[in-house]
């Protein structure tokens, strides 16, 4: 078994993972980043999902580094693509002309830009990237994760030891803090599904037809007809895109969330222990069906509490992506591209802050003075800790 050591181990090279690695690297730390595919970027690249952003993304509501990513994508098109004069001069170039984002781009272009953003640290020897590496086991010593073992493309195990482990996986890797089983809240890719209702006396559940299985092993007769039609359309689209290299993996909207000391709802700008107000929220159609009636109005600004990044027990593991401790209802807001980037960047900054000041994340969370110092560091690095007051005049 081969191995390596680093100050910070980032498991998962999606939006949150790349942002976490860059944040720790800017603060002088060594980072080892692993990714299951051969592209960085997660939902922006290998999953083929265009940026899902709020309407004010060009003015506010994102970190400085996320803005640099967006502008670098535009510069890539201006430099290497034969654009018209109108497109070259457009400050808000949106080549894809999509409506879900003010910047729709090709996944391969986003992957090239992300690779360029990390290349200086690779050349300096402070960043190591292991592509096609999947986490398979975690070594736990009391309340700390001592190391994580990965399976490489050749099947050879690879072990990494680090002071901090940042979980930015798409479906929660072995380093994730386990939570109590809640079958009704199973996410995409979870090993369990919603339990069936008990049958009354004299009733019998129909047997599944041979060879017909729905998503996550659910018998096809239990899957609503409309859902089956959408799944068939998605499979056809995936087969069509496979010839053009996309997508390398499915887009996972609902991560297996960790148990948390602080549960984020749609909190306003004055929320306690808030890190940032990154977005205005997801459209009501993307929220849990039980909350549709309450969420019919326009969604409100929200923030990411520091406690949502911390597991209940493990002291050196931080959530760095969609796996933060959120609720089933508010999960739709925290999975968006700029928010996932924001979460990962905050996690990487927190790990580096704790290493430099010999603190633990729980201390920063619980001590108002430590929290204030950390938030001042985030503000200096281009984080927006509160949503501005948007007025018509």
Q: Which domains does the chain have, with CATH numbers?
A: 2-177+254-259+312-364 (3.50.50.60)
Give the pLDDT score at 260.
55
Residue 185 has pLDDT above 60, yes or no: no
CB burial of residue 208 (10 Å; 0-12, 13-18, 19+): middle
For residues 289 and 223, what is the distance between their CA atoms, to the nearest angstrom? 17
For residues 237 and 235, what is the distance between their CA atoms, to the nearest angstrom? 5
Pick the more confident residue, 286 or 58.
58
Give the pLDDT score at 255.
57
Pick the more confident residue, 259 or 39.
39
Pick the more confident residue, 174 or 149.
149
Pick the more confident residue, 89 or 23.
23
Q: Is the pTM of this model over 0.85?
A: no
Residue 145 has pLDDT above 50, yes or no: yes
Give the pLDDT score at 196.
34
CB of 253 within 8 A of CB of 188?
yes
Which pLDDT tens digit goes with each residue over 89-119? 888 888 877 777 888 888 999 999 999 999 9
C-alpha distance across the termini of the chain, in Å: 64
Neighbours of 154 (CB within 10 A): 7
What is the CA angle 58-108-281, rounded to 5? 35
Give the pLDDT score at 133.
94
Looking at residues 39-51, what average pLDDT do you find? Answer: 86
Give the pLDDT score at 378.
94
For residues 170 and 172, what is the distance between their CA atoms, to the nearest angstrom? 6
Looking at residues 166-185, what average pLDDT do you find? Answer: 54
Pair type for strands 127-131 and 31-35: parallel
């Amino acid at each position: 078994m081969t191995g390596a050591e680093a100050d910070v181990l980032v498991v998962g090279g999606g939006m949150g993972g790349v942002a976490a690695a860059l944040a720790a690297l800017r603060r002088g730390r060594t980072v080892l980043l692993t990714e299951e595919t051969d592209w960085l970027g997660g939902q922006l690249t290998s999953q083929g999902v265009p940026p899902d952003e709020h309407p004010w993304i060009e003015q506010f509501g994102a970190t400085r580094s996320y803005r640099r990513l967006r502008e670098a994508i535009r510069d890539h098109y201006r430099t290497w693509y034969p654009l018209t004069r109108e497109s070259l001069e457009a400050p808000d170039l949106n080549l894809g002309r999509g409506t879900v984002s003010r910047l729709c781009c090709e996944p391969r272009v986003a992957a090239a830009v992300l690779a360029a953003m990390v290349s200086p640290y690779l050349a300096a020897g402070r960043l190591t990237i292991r592509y096609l590496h999947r986490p398979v086991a975690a070594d736990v010593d009391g309340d700390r994760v001592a190391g994580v073992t990965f399976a490489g493309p050749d099947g050879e195990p690879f072990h990494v030891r680090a002071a901090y482990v940042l979980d930015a996986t798409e479906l929660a890797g072995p380093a994730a803090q386990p939570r109590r089983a809640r079958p009704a809240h199973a996410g995409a890719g979870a090993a369990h599904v919603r339990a069936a209702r008990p049958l009354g006396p004299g009733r019998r559940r129909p047997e599944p037809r041979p060879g017909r299985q729905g998503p996550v092993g659910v018998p096809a007769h239990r899957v609503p007809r409309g859902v089956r039609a959408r799944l068939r359309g998605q499979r056809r689209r995936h087969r069509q895109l496979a010839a053009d290299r996309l997508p390398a993996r499915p887009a996972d909207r609902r991560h297996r969330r960790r148990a948390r000391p602080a549960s984020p709802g749609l909190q306003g700008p004055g929320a306690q222990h808030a890190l940032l107000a990154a977005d205005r929220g997801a459209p009501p159609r993307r929220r849990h069906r039980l909350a549709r009636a309450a969420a019919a109005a326009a969604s409100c600004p929200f923030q990411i509490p520091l406690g949502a990044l911390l597991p209940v027990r493990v002291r050196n593991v931080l959530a760095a992506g969609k796996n933060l401790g959120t609720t089933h209802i508010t999960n739709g807001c925290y999975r968006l591209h700029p928010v996932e980037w924001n979460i990962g960047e905050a996690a990487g900054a927190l790990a580096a802050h704790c290493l430099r000041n010999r603190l633990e994340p729980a201390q920063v969370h619980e001590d108002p003075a430590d929290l204030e110092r950390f938030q001042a560091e985030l503000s200096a690095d281009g984080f927006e800790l509160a949503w501005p007051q948007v007025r018509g005049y």
